[in-house]
């Protein structure tokens, strides 16, 4: 009773005010977990993937804003956004720990209900890859049946990645970057360039003179590091649940996930660890 008196100011009449549930549209959100099999563990499978997509939406929000901030030389804002991305990534990585409580026998009870639906088709994950510079045009074919989504992905596909704008920042700082990199076809995945390698090496050898670029480089390494850890946990969770079966979307499953671990988004930033 005493505690209730202390909280006598709590608002209870919402006839003319918005509630917490209305603000978050919880009716829609919590009504979106529709099991196709009725199996108990399908709820886990749906929620894990929905939560991951929500985190990816926030990652894209931050990455897109960070790209614009770097282009405008607002480095401190970009650093804050990229630091937030890495914190989000720790959350999305931990989701695999929860999903790994699903056993092979349990998953087989409802796997056939997925049809050809697969995480391989996650358009937000593709947008994250595009924002980081990993681009292959054949991926866009998956989304042709949705014209609006396809146009959105095409826009992201042809836009400069966060590494492209970081290379442009090196050029604005006076580093002799190859001119062909500053107005290149951004739909082609970046593979590396000696002028960029030399620029980053000088940044790391003269940290005090290039503090903002040094911080930018380390923030980019953080993002790639955590993304690769996410990919690794994805691979091991899939292996734990389905072994080396093909994915529901037709991919080779674990073999495909293992292959993408070899890809590097920011090659010079990793090579300089050896060459410094």
Q: Is 70 annotated for ligand binding?
A: no
Q: Is 107 annotated for ligand binding?
A: yes
**Pair 175, 202: CB distance under 8 Å:** yes
Q: Is 111 annotated for ligand binding?
A: yes
User: Residues of 47-58 as b/e, b for ≥16 C-beta within 10 angstroms?
Assistant: ebeeebeebbee
Q: Is 49 annotated for ligand binding?
A: yes
Q: Is 242 annotated for ligand binding?
A: no
Return the sign of the alpha-carbon dihedral for residues 56, 57, 63, 67. Answer: positive
Half-sphere CA count of 166, side-chain side, radius 13 A: 31
Distance between CA atoms of 49 and 77, rounded to whole angstroms? 30
* DSSP 3-state of 106: helix
Return the sign of the alpha-carbon dihedral for residues 152, 80, 261, 273. Answer: positive
**Pair 78, 166: CB distance under 8 Å:** no
Distance between CA atoms of 276 and 272, rounded to whole angstroms? 5
CA angle at 209 for the pair 168 and 166, rounded to the nearest 5°: 15
Q: What is the DSSP letter of 36?
A: S
Q: Is 142 annotated for ligand binding?
A: no
Size (the chain), residues: 276
Q: Is 263 annotated for ligand binding?
A: no
Q: Other CB atoms closer than 10 Å to residue 10's CB: what's the count? A: 7
Residue numbers in the known binding site for substrate are 45-49, 107, 111, 248
Residue numbers in the known binding site for heme are 234
Residue numbers in the known binding site are 45-49, 107, 111, 234, 248
């Amino acid at each position: 009773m005493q505690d209730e008196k202390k909280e006598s100011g709590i608002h209870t009449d919402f006839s003319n005010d918005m509630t917490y549930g209305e603000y978050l549209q919880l009716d829609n959100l919590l009504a979106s977990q529709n099991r196709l099999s009725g199996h108990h563990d399908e709820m886990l499978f749906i929620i894990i993937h929905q939560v991951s997509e929500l985190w990816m939406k926030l990652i894209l929000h931050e990455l897109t804003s960070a790209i614009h901030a770097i282009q405008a030389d607002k480095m401190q804002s970009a650093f804050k956004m990229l630091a937030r991305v890495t914190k989000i990534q720790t959350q999305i990585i931990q989701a695999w720990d929860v999903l790994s409580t699903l056993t092979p026998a349990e998953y087989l009870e409802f796997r056939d209900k997925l049809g050809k639906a697969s995480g391989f088709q996650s358009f937000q994950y593709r947008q994250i890859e595009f924002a980081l510079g990993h681009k292959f045009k054949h991926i866009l074919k998956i989304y042709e049946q949705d014209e609006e989504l396809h146009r959105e992905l095409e826009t992201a596909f042809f836009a400069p990645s966060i590494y492209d704008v970081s290379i442009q920042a090196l050029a604005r700082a006076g580093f002799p970057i190859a001119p062909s990199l500053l107005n290149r076809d951004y739909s082609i995945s970046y593979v590396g360039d000696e002028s960029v390698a030399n620029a980053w090496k000088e940044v790391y050898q003269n940290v005090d003179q290039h503090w903002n670029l040094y911080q930018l480089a380390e923030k980019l390494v953080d993002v790639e590091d955590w993304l690769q850890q996410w990919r690794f946990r994805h691979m091991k969770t899939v292996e734990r649940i389905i072994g080396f079966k093909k994915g529901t979307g037709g991919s080779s499953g674990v073999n495909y996930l293992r292959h993408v671990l070899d890809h590097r988004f920011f090659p010079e930033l990793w090579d300089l660890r050896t060459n410094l």
